[in-house]
Amino acid sequence: MYIADETWPELGDYFADESVALVPLGSTEQHGPHLPLATDHLIAEAFAREAAERTGYLCTPTINVGVSPHHRQFNGTMWVDAPVFRDYVESFTRNLAYHGIDRVVYVNAHGGNVDHLREVGRRLRDDETMYAIEWMWNDSIPELVDDLFEQNGPHGGPKETAMIQHLRSDLVREDRLEDARDGGVASVDAAGTVKFGSRTFYDAADNTANGVLGDQTDATAEKGAQMFEEAVDQLCQLCDWLDDQRFEDLLPKAHV
C-alpha cells in the first residue's frame, strides 16, 4: 500500500490494524558517466514499493536527497548536512508514530545514509517512540552479489548498474559502460588511498576520476532481476518478522 494513493478514511483502517511502515531513502548524486543521479533513490523506492505490494504493509514517499557531500565535486550532486538529514528523517518518522505506527524499516540504497539512519533509530528507540531499523538491499544478499560479479564496485559498479538495467534500462547509458570502467578504479584498494590502516580519502574524487569503481561491463539486466527478486524476498521476510514481534521486546533492555 502506497500512502499517497490512499484516502484518509482508508488509511484509518490500516492504522487501526497494522503497525509497520516502509520508508525508502536514497540520494541524488553522481553515479559515473553511465548511470543517472537518481540511481540510489530509484532502487530504494522500487524495493519498498514492491515489498509493500507483496505484503500489504504501508510505503511512504521516498526521501530522495541524502548525505552525499563526498560526491560534491561531480556536477549535479545534491546533499544535506548530516545533522539536518538526521533531524528531518526523525521528524518524518515521528509523523508515522503519531498515526499509530510503532515500527519502521528504512529501505535504504545509499551507503552515506547508513550511520545516520542508525542514529535516528537509536533516538526513536531510546525514548520508546518506535523501533526503526535500516535495511540495505545488497547487504541482504552478499553471497549472491559476490557470485555474480568478480569486482562489484561498490559505487556505480556492476551491481548498481545491473539493478538500474533491470529497473530503468532507459536511463542507462550503455555506450558509456567501458568509459566508466576504464576511467574509474577497480576498488578502493586499487586506488591506494588506504595507508597503514588509515582511510586517507574523504571524497569520491580522491579515489576515482570519474566517480565510480568496479567493472561496469560485467552488468546485465538479468543479473539485476535476480538480485532484485532475492533481495525483495529478504525485505518481505524482515517486515513479517518485525510485525510478529511484541513491541515491548523491541525496546531497550533495563539497566543491569
User: What is the DSSP secondary-structure string of 171-183?
Assistant: G--GGGHHHHHHH
pLDDT digits (tens, 9 = 90+) for 148-195: 999 888 899 999 999 999 999 999 999 999 999 999 999 888 899 999
Share of residues in the chain with pLDDT > 90 (%): 96
**Residue 52 maps to a domain:** yes
Residue 45: pLDDT band (50, 70, 90) is very high
Instruction: For residue 16, tell me if it sits in a domain.
Output: yes
**pTM score above 0.85:** yes
Each residue's pLDDT tens digit, 12-35: 999 999 999 999 999 999 999 999
Rounded to whole angstroms, the Cα distance separating 101 from 3 reads 13
In a domain, 92, yes or no: yes
State the pLDDT at residue 152.
Answer: 82
Range of the domain at 42: 3-248
pLDDT band per the 50, 70, 90 thresholds, residue 126:
very high
In a domain, 254, yes or no: no
Taking the C-alpha atoms of residue 136 and residue 44, their distance in angstroms, rounded to an integer, is 8
Instruction: Tell which residue, 27, 206, 226, has the closest CA to residue 113.
Output: 27
The answer to the question of residue 256 being in a domain is no
Report residue 236's pLDDT band, with 50, 70 and 90 as the boundaries.
very high
Rounded CA-CA distance 154/29 in Å is 14
- CATH code: domain of residue 113: 3.40.50.10310
Please indicate, yes or no, if residue 49 is contained in any of the structural domains: yes
> In the beta sheet, which residues pair with residue 132?
104
Residue at 161: amino acid letter: T
The answer as to whether 255 is a domain residue is no
The C-alpha atoms of residue 239 and residue 52 are separated, in whole angstroms, by 9
The answer to whether residue 236 sits within a structural domain is yes
Indicate the number of domains in the chain. 1
CB 250 within 8 A of CB 131: yes
Distances (CA, A) of 178 to 138, 149, 218: 23, 16, 10
What are the percentages of helix, strand and coil residues in the chain, rounded to 5? Answer: 55, 10, 35
Give the chain's largest Cα–Cα span.
60
